[in-house]
């Protein structure tokens, strides 16, 4: 399966995959799994539409998500299951594109295609038995989208490096911790990003607390986000990049 398999004038690549996913999973007779085969799922039949909802619930355990995605990875030689896998990842892919699109100077359909390509490339090449399959797949999509937008960003727009990370697939605090550990950004800049990007604290409030001028903090934050984006694009950060989960 490649992105050109979904090229059409009636919608973006993600739109077309979603349409195919809904067709493949239509009841009765649609694709599904036996919940008893996966830890944490009820002993019943799950159509993939229902399973997709289950996988997006905060209470879905890491073990459950990883087991489901190990199954989807093992089934990738079957075309229908390739489409199903992308469909199962659609909430994460849509989050990435929706967060990055306002900053992007290009066409939304082009961004969709880049994100889909990033996901498919990892899905096609990831060895069976890999740990942290969901995070690695989502990061492939995230990295592709971030690199595309970073190189074609609207002037004066902040790059949503942390906001584009899809939860529960990937945790922004984990990326910040990895970036500090690898000296991509400093601990103070990581705290600044956590406060202003993850906790919603304004730069003005941080300035008042710290005594550091707001303009200086804003410049530091922009620089730190750019450093994160460059490191992600260079393969220096992310799952499986040496000590990553």
pLDDT for the residue numbered 241: 77
pLDDT for the residue numbered 2: 55
Span 197-225, average pLDDT: 97
Instruction: Retrieve residue 3's tokens.
Output: 């992105």
pLDDT for the residue numbered 46: 97
CA distance 159 to 112: 17
CB atoms within 10 A of CB 20: 17
pLDDT tops 90 at residue 160: yes
Q: Higher pLDDT residue, 1 or 106?
A: 106
pLDDT for the residue numbered 11: 80
Q: Higher pLDDT residue, 3 or 133?
A: 133
Mean of per-residue pLDDT scores for the chain: 94
pLDDT for the residue numbered 58: 86
- The number of CA neighbours under 13 Å toward the Cβ of 113 is 14
**21 phi and psi angles, rounded to 5 deg:** -60, -45
Q: Where are the domains of the chain?
A: 3-150, 172-233
pLDDT tops 60 at residue 47: yes
| Under 8 Å between Cβ of 159 and 149 | yes
pLDDT for the residue numbered 6: 52
8-18: pLDDT as tens digits: 556 899 999 99
DSSP letters for 149-178: HHTSBPTT----TTTTSPTTT--HHHHHHH
CA distance 160 to 164: 6
pLDDT tops 60 at residue 36: yes
The residues with which 34 forms a beta bridge, in sequence order, are 45
pLDDT for the residue numbered 9: 52
pLDDT tops 90 at residue 201: yes
Span 173-177, average pLDDT: 97
pLDDT tops 70 at residue 78: yes
Span 150-160, average pLDDT: 93
Residues counted in the chain: 245
pLDDT for the residue numbered 92: 98
> Please, where are the H alpha helices in 25-170?
48-56, 62-74, 79-88, 90-100, 108-125, 133-150
The percentage of the chain sitting over the pLDDT mark of 70, rounded to a whole number, equals 94
pLDDT for the residue numbered 4: 53
Span 14-43, average pLDDT: 96
Span 181-189, average pLDDT: 98
Q: The pTM is what?
A: 0.91
pLDDT for the residue numbered 244: 44
| Under 8 Å between Cβ of 136 and 121 | no
**Chain centroid offset of residue 234 CA:** 17
Span 174-197, average pLDDT: 98
């Amino acid at each position: 399966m490649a992105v050109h398999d979904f090229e059409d004038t009636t919608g973006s690549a993600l739109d077309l995959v979603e349409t195919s996913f809904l067709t493949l999973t239509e009841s009765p007779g649609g694709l599904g799994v036996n919940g008893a085969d996966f830890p944490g799922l009820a002993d019943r039949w799950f159509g993939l539409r229902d399973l997709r909802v289950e996988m997006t619930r905060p209470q879905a355990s890491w073990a459950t998500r990883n087991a489901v995605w190990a199954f989807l990875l093992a089934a990738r030689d079957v075309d229908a299951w390739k489409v199903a896998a992308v469909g199962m990842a659609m909430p994460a892919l849509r989050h990435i594109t929706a967060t990055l699109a306002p900053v992007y100077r290009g066409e939304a359909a082009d961004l969709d295609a880049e994100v889909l390509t990033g996901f498919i490339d990892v899905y096609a090449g990831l060895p069976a038995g890999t740990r942290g399959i969901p995070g690695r797949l989502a990061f492939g999509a995230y990295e592709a989208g971030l690199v595309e937008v970073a190189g074609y960003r609207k002037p004066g727009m902040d790059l949503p490096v942390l906001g584009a990370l899809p939860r529960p697939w990937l945790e922004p605090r984990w990326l910040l911790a990895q970036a500090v550990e690898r000296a991509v950004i400093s601990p103070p800049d990581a705290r600044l990003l956590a406060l202003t990007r993850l906790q919603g604290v304004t730069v003005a409030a941080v300035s008042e607390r710290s005594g550091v001028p707001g303009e200086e903090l804003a410049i530091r934050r922009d620089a730190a986000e750019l450093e994160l984006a460059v490191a992600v694009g260079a393969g220096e950060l992310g799952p499986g990049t040496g000590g990553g989960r």
